Amino acid sequence: MRNYLLLKAAVITVIIFSVGMFLGMWMDGQRYEEIKNEITSLNIDWNDARLQSLYYQTFLEDDDSCSSALEVNKKLTEKIFSFGERLEKYERINRFSEEVLEQKKVYTLLHFQLWLNSISLKKKCNADYNTIIYFYSHYATGIEEEQQDLQSSVLIDAIHRCDGNLIVFPIPLDMDIQSIDLIKAQFGIKSTPTILINEQTVLEGVQDTETIKQIIGC
């Protein structure tokens, strides 16, 4: 009887464990599909915004075309930034899975393209906003991760204080993306956290809000 009870308890334990594993895998799969679908949607939005910008630059030369292109770029920036917050929560659960790394690369390339588009529009339309690339490590741990979290919080604070006059593009340095390697080489980016302000000023280490505000003048 005792052996039977032990066997029964073991079977129940295995069943509960298996059900828990299945539910965990199912929920993880659902989260991944949500991330993947939203990345696809953002890619469509980006290509739409890019083509609109190209159209304005090719056929239109008036102030209205600039206003439209800047507004589209702003809305897409806000949408991508909002998605980034949700992606970060998902990353904390499955940070090193192949699926997460794949989608993170696509997301990073979206930021890179949006940065280039923002620079182009700024020059063409004589816009007065500032851009910052925030370089960080996807694989950071310990003190480095704490420093990155602090720098992220500072940049979010700076965005709010500059009241729409600052766009921040978070870019991981260590995801084996060749176009990102070009930026690293051009601007001499070697460590994280590092920020690049208006394609001119490189600041290594954690920077506070006041330092950033003084440089960009907002």
Supply the pTM of this predicted model: 0.74
The CA distances from residue 15 to 22, 25, 161, 199, in Å, are: 10, 15, 54, 57
Nearest to 96 by CA among 54, 137, 45: 137
Q: Where do the domains of the chain lie, and which CATH numbers do they carry?
A: 1-127 (no CATH), 129-218 (3.40.30.10)
Distance of CA 69 to the CA centre of its chain: 22
Per-residue pLDDT of the chain (218 residues; tens, 9 = 90+): 544 444 444 444 444 444 444 333 434 445 556 666 777 776 777 677 666 666 766 665 666 678 878 887 888 887 777 777 666 766 666 655 677 788 788 888 888 988 998 998 888 888 889 999 999 998 888 999 899 999 999 998 998 888 878 999 999 999 888 999 999 999 999 899 999 999 999 999 999 999 998 899 88
Provide the token pair at 2. Answer: 């005792």
